[in-house]
Amino acid sequence: MAHWTKFEKELEQEVKRLIAHMTGIQDEEDQNFQMALKFAWSNFKFHRFLDVSSHNLFVMLGARFHTDIHHGILALLLFLSDSPSNTNYSERPRLKESEMKDTFDWAKYLMEGEDIETGPFPDTPEWSEDESEEEESQQPISREDSGIQVDRTPQEDQEQNNKTVQVTWAGEPDARAWLELHIVTPYWVPHSPRFPHSLHLHSNLLNVWDQHLYNTDPLYMPEEKAFVTETQVIRETLWLLSGVKRLFIFQHHDGKVSVRNDVVVTHLTNNCLRSVLEHIAAYGQAVFRLQRFIDEVTGHSSEPCPPGLNSSSSSSSSSSKKNSEPPFRTYQAFVWALYKYFTSFKEELSAIEREIIGKDETVTLSSVLERLSPHLAQITVLHRVFCTGVADVPPGTPNVVRASHLLNTLYKAIIEYDSVGEASEQSVALLFSLWVETVRPYLEIVDEWIVHGHLFDPAKEFIIQRNKDVPVNHRDFWYATYTLYSVSEAVESEERLSDAASGSSGGEQSSSSRQHTMVSFLKPVLKQIIMAGKSMQLLKNLDCKETEQADGSSRDAERKSLYTLFLESVQTRLRRGEESPTDTVTEQQATKRSLIKMQSIVARHLEMDDIHDPLLAINFARLYLEQKDFHETFSGGDVIVDRSSESVTCQTFELTLRSCLYPHIERRYIECCGNLMRTLKKDYRLLGYLQAMRNYFLLEAGDTMYDFYTAIFDKVLEKESWQQLAFLNVQLQEAVGQRHPEDSNRLSIFLETIDPTRKKQPINNLDGLTLSYKVPWPVDIVISSECQKIYNQVFLLLLQIKWAKYSLDTLRFSDLTAAAKRHEGGQFEEYTGKEPINQQIHRMFLLRVKLMHFVNSLHNYIMTRILHSTGLEFQHQVQEAKDLDQLIKIHYRYLSTIHDRCLLREKVSFVKEAIMKVLNLVLIFSDRWQAGFGAWKIESIDKMESDFKNCHMFLVTILNKAVCRGSFPHLESLALSLMAGFEQC
């Protein structure tokens, strides 16, 4: 205990006396006494009582004290005066003692015995100094003659330096002291007076450092400096961040903020202060650029000026001119979001400045920067987004590129900062609020389009734009009305986006290092937006018979906009922390959707390996879905196979869009497209026209078309001319008018001019025969002229097969035997030289049966395996189609399927040539059968048998190989049928 101080020893004795008095234990060695002693010492040394608040004492007593001991004693007295008695203490008013008036006449006493000359006017009252002082005090005090220096800029002070008159203060000393305490020393004036400061070593670090440099560096030359206080530096920092240009410490030159070299504070070295101020100047320059952009978009400039600067000249010189064209709405929304942020930021700066003026607490530059550090970090983020999304866009860029690039920049910034995690929550929240405000015009354009069918975009900032040259009632409306514009951006590796959903694309071809992208957040629902918009515009121009459109205006007044629904969904998601209730589906529906999405993903991966097996894709999808987290980790909720730099997903942000924005667009898409499909099917007989195309072009109306084409075939058999347009149309009208009179006016036939070189074979005589069906608008959007060309190719093939079949079916055995009997007699020996006539007839019978088997097999394959089964599948898909674009694709896919399976594709043209050769052989055989014996030689039978055998063998070999490879599974039935009739040699 030798290290104890005298105070601690005395304190220990007093503690022991306290314990003995309170507990009654006199033995200090007693265990209980030692425990009490330890307890008391612990509370004295490690107490949890706060120090006395001098500010609270000042409020209670109205007086200031200088030491902590005074504060402690006063607090103890206050607590003791209140606690023991528990009475409410009320301070009595203190009456100020009035000073005793001195009634003694000192003038009479002092002037006693003196002769006083009163002058010519003895009745004039004596002059009083008090009155003159009162008169002077009543005169208004101007800023020029009051002794208070006028706040001026250094330039103004140099001009009027000679005009300033220093006048001594004649008022009360208390008022002068108050003014000296609250008026800022004009530090911006050259050779301004030094302010008083402490002589402590820490407060004179600049002088110490200058002395050190003077002693160590013989070439050091002190420069003239402008001394400022740290408070003045803080206030100019706040003004700079508020957007003020004309400052003393910070200067603006050509849009850049710099720091004066001669500004110093007494407690920091010049380099230290300059490094801090340059750091602040960088933020000030970012604020200045953002503020200038806000002023340019809003069309005016309003900048506050600090005390001491002339605001009128500043506002007149820096006011910006209004642009000839107003900025488009996306920039306006972005500026509105920036303005709201800077309003809250300037409120924070004003609060700090009020604290500095109040002087209740010590405010240092480091504490201000620490307090503003979150805001400064956010300003850095905003400036980065502004530079990338706005400032770096070249002048003259179209508005659609500017708007798309800005939204893409915000979208990518949110994903980038959100990937960091909790470290950038404030930045993500700021960027998300900025994005929500900026995306409002886009969502309003989408809402107007998908609800009213009107794409209102006067500034042409939306990525989809209307082509005014194509009217709505044009047959090319669905393909050429809207143009999808893409934004060309420099990316390293980015998946090219196909714009097939719109039917056309805009923009020019760019170099290989620049690829076309678009607004990223609209990619998952871009097709739905386009389909809903075009469907709604088409509906508005149709004479719909549905009565539900009558009250559309009243419903629209109660309808919430897409942007409002999006905000409500976001607020609901943020409150509940879960998926929006609007996206609730049953577990069975969710499983079905997941299976469909996973199947498409697996199918794409299989296609990359050139494997086209939908059953395999379904089984893989079911296998993968058994793993809980596979769908999220594999697909990210979207059907994206190749993840590029732009498509890197952010679960939080993308899930927010997926649950708060996309469902509303999906619902509107289903509603619009569903109404259009119902209207086309119900009011415009879409399904009836599709059935008519199959009836006449694909010969599904067998009895009707049989009457038509048999009339042509009979003309051919009778060696009469049938290639007369009047004859063909009469036969067609008679056949159709009997059973389908509603189609008689729509159906017609034409003869196209064919190159004579193509008619070398008899089977080619039917070339040029073309059916035409007049499809009304808007059904011609689905059944276009291109579709009718494919229908005509299949129709021509079916006619050729029907011709060959009809030719064989009409042959009679009696014709051949009767011709043989006519040739008995003198000419009989001519035919019996090589082979008996009965054997020749038998060979003809056998060849006819072989040809009939071949033609019937081909006919059954085309009419049943291809047309009928594919037609049933097509009808089912048409009923399931959700939108018109899907229906168009289903129809094209159907035509492409039957075109390929009818062997009309160029890739399998050699197979079709072999079939055409057999069909041509059938026509030659039929012609010779009807001509009878004597019109042809026996060698022709040998040649026909040889040609048929070669073609038959070739087709069987080719089809078997194709079936074994699995590339053409639909050919299996035809291959088996031809194999059954193939004669082994």
pLDDT band at 99 (very low <50, low <70, confident <90, very high): low
Q: Which range among 362-366, 448-452, 490-494, 646-650 shows the weakest confidence by mean pLDDT? A: 646-650
pLDDT of residue 420: 76
User: H helices then E strands: how many in the chain?
Assistant: 38, 10
Distant-in-sequence, close-in-space partners of 522: CB < 8 Å, separation ≥ 6:
442, 463, 529
Quote the tokens at residue 710: 């048999």
For residue 477, what are the CA distances in angstroms to 463, 748, 895?
18, 26, 21
- CA 204 to CA 820: how far, in whole Å? 139
pLDDT of residue 791: 92
- CA 504 to CA 816: how far, in whole Å? 63
Q: What ranges in 86-229 are assigned the alpha helix state H?
A: 106-110, 129-138, 154-159, 173-182, 205-216
| pLDDT(422) > 50 | yes
pLDDT of residue 111: 76
Distant-in-sequence, close-in-space partners of 835: CB < 8 Å, separation ≥ 6:
938
- CA 119 to CA 803: how far, in whole Å? 156
Fold classified for 684-820+838-981: Four Helix Bundle (Hemerythrin (Met), subunit A) (1.20.120)
Q: Which range among 25-29, 276-280, 821-825 shows the weakest confidence by mean pLDDT? A: 821-825
Contact 445, 462 (CB under 8 A): yes
pLDDT of residue 326: 76
**233: closest CA among 263, 194, 206?**
263
- CA 54 to CA 65: how far, in whole Å? 8
Contact 874, 890 (CB under 8 A): yes
- CA 334 to CA 437: how far, in whole Å? 7
Q: What is the pLDDT of residues 49-82, one digit of tens each?
A: 666 666 666 666 655 555 666 667 777 777 666 6
- CA 530 to CA 434: how far, in whole Å? 26
Look at the chain and count its residues. 985
| pLDDT(856) > 60 | yes
As a whole number, mean pLDDT of residues 85-113 equals 69
For residue 336, what are the CA distances in angstroms to 293, 322, 344, 392?
11, 17, 13, 20
Distant-in-sequence, close-in-space partners of 709: CB < 8 Å, separation ≥ 6:
799, 802, 803, 806
* Domain parsing of the chain, residue ranges: 1-40, 684-820+838-981
* First CA to last CA distance, the chain: 127
Crossing angle for the helix pair 785-809 and 686-697, nearest 10 degrees?
A: 40
pLDDT of residue 626: 58
Contact 751, 723 (CB under 8 A): yes
pLDDT band at 837 (very low <50, low <70, confident <90, very high): confident
As a whole number, mean pLDDT of residues 615-629 equals 64
- CA 196 to CA 173: how far, in whole Å? 19
Distant-in-sequence, close-in-space partners of 390: CB < 8 Å, separation ≥ 6:
293, 331, 334, 402, 406
- Beta bridge mates, 771: 749
Crossing angle for the helix pair 329-358 and 270-298, nearest 10 degrees?
A: 140
| pLDDT(634) > 90 | no
As a whole number, mean pLDDT of residues 748-758 equals 78
Q: In the block, which residue shows the tokens 């007699």?
A: 825
pLDDT of residue 65: 53
pLDDT of residue 497: 33
Q: Is the pTM for the entire model greater than 0.75?
A: no
Q: What H or E segment, with its residue span, contains residue 771?
A: strand 769-773
- CA 369 to CA 196: how far, in whole Å? 26
pLDDT of residue 576: 64
- CA 856 to CA 977: how far, in whole Å? 10
Q: Which range among 171-175, 414-418, 977-981 shows the weakest confidence by mean pLDDT? A: 171-175
Phi, psi of 773 (to 5 degrees): -125, 120
Q: Which range among 506-510, 853-857, 895-899 shows the weakest confidence by mean pLDDT? A: 506-510
- CA 456 to CA 449: how far, in whole Å? 7
pLDDT of residue 555: 57
pLDDT of residue 97: 63
Quote the tokens at residue 28: 């200090």
Q: Are strands 263-264 and 226-227 parallel, antiparallel or unpaired?
A: parallel
Amino acid at 500: A
Quote the tokens at residue 542: 């149709």
As a whole number, mean pLDDT of residues 649-673 equals 80
pLDDT band at 577 (very low <50, low <70, confident <90, very high): low
pLDDT of residue 520: 80
Contact 226, 192 (CB under 8 A): yes
Q: What is the pLDDT of residues 347-375, one digit of tens each?
A: 999 999 998 888 888 888 899 999 999 99
Q: What is the pLDDT of residues 134-169, one digit of tens each?
A: 444 444 433 333 333 334 444 444 444 444 444 455
Question: How many other CB atoms are found less than 10 A from the CB of residue 138?
Answer: 7
Q: What ranges in 486-613 are assigned the alpha helix state H?
A: 526-540, 552-558, 562-576, 587-608
Contact 646, 490 (CB under 8 A): no
Rounded to the nearest 5 degrees, what angle is found at the Cα of 335, between the Cα atoms of 331 and 336? Answer: 115
| pLDDT(239) > 50 | yes
With H, G, I as helix, E, B as strand and everything else as coil, classify residue 770: strand
Question: How many other CB atoms are found less than 10 A from the CB of residue 615?
Answer: 7
- CA 412 to CA 521: how far, in whole Å? 10
pLDDT of residue 217: 81
For residue 60, what are the CA distances in angstroms to 50, 52, 74, 75, 89?
18, 13, 11, 10, 12
Q: Are strands 769-773 and 263-264 parallel, antiparallel or unpaired?
A: unpaired
Crossing angle for the helix pair 399-418 and 440-452, nearest 10 degrees?
A: 120
pLDDT of residue 868: 86
Quote the tokens at residue 196: 């008083």
Radius of gyration of the chain (CA): 50
Percentage of the chain modeled with pLDDT above 70: 68
pLDDT of residue 91: 66
Q: Which range among 280-289, 510-519, 853-862 shows the weakest confidence by mean pLDDT? A: 510-519
Amino acid at 677: M
pLDDT of residue 108: 75
As a whole number, mean pLDDT of residues 480-487 equals 71
Q: Which residue has the higher pLDDT, 84 or 580?
A: 84
Cite the beta strand spans of 235-307 per DSSP E: 250-253, 256-259, 263-264
pLDDT of residue 225: 80
- CA 773 to CA 219: how far, in whole Å? 102
Q: What is the pLDDT of residues 958-976, one digit of tens each?
A: 888 877 877 677 777 777 7
Question: How many other CB atoms are found less than 10 A from the CB of residue 501?
Answer: 14
637: left (phi over 0), alpha (psi -120 to 50) or beta: left
| pLDDT(854) > 60 | yes
Q: Which range among 390-394, 419-423, 850-854, 870-874 shows the weakest confidence by mean pLDDT? A: 419-423
Q: Which residue has the higher pLDDT, 908 or 356?
A: 356
Cite the beta strand spans of 38-148 per DSSP E: none
| pLDDT(335) > 90 | yes
Mean pLDDT for all residues in the chain: 75
